[in-house]
Structure 1
């Protein structure tokens, strides 16, 4: 089992955290997800998977690793994910 802390861009609120959890659990092998919105940290525990799959999923929903270039399209995706997550929390 591997646990990694990934600093991501665009993590704004609990709605974003909900969306990230929902989407990362779709990645085979992901077991535990803990999110710290105030620190932009996504902590993922997984086995039989790899970091690249997790990073690709995060980027596809608008939360790239903070070292990646953060363009306008990814910011828009993150705002949509945040709103969708807030709706899921209702």
Structure 2
């Protein structure tokens, strides 16, 4: 199990978006998002998929802690959050 701590994770809407987004990547399984700790855990069936996971998280507005968190990332996370809330309903 791999775990990445991300920025901009605020609610279950965000968690839904992250889960759906990561499961769309071939080689990623069992995604779990802990909103309280901002941690995303998952299983990789292919090691080279890790970069794809990080790129996908950043593209959705949830860059890994330690990376640059721009206004664009923050804006994308708000959009991803809203989308995740709609999907959950």
Give the Å deviation of 1:50. 2.3
| TM-score using structure 2 length | 0.95
Structure 1-normalised TM-score?
Answer: 0.94
1:5-63: CA deviations, max 9, x gaps?
10000000000000001110111111110110110000011112421110001001000
Residue 83 in 1 paired to residue 82 in 2? yes
Regions of 4+ moved over 4 Å: none
Structure 2 runs not aligned, ≥5 long: none
Aligned equivalent of 1:59: 58
- List runs of 5+ in structure 1 lacking aligned partners: none
Q: Secondary structure at the match of 2:63?
A: coil
Task: Tell me the number of residue pairs that the alignment of Structure 1 and Structure 2 aligns.
Answer: 88
Query: d(CA) in 2 for partners of 1:44 and 1:9?
Result: 17
RMSD: 0.8
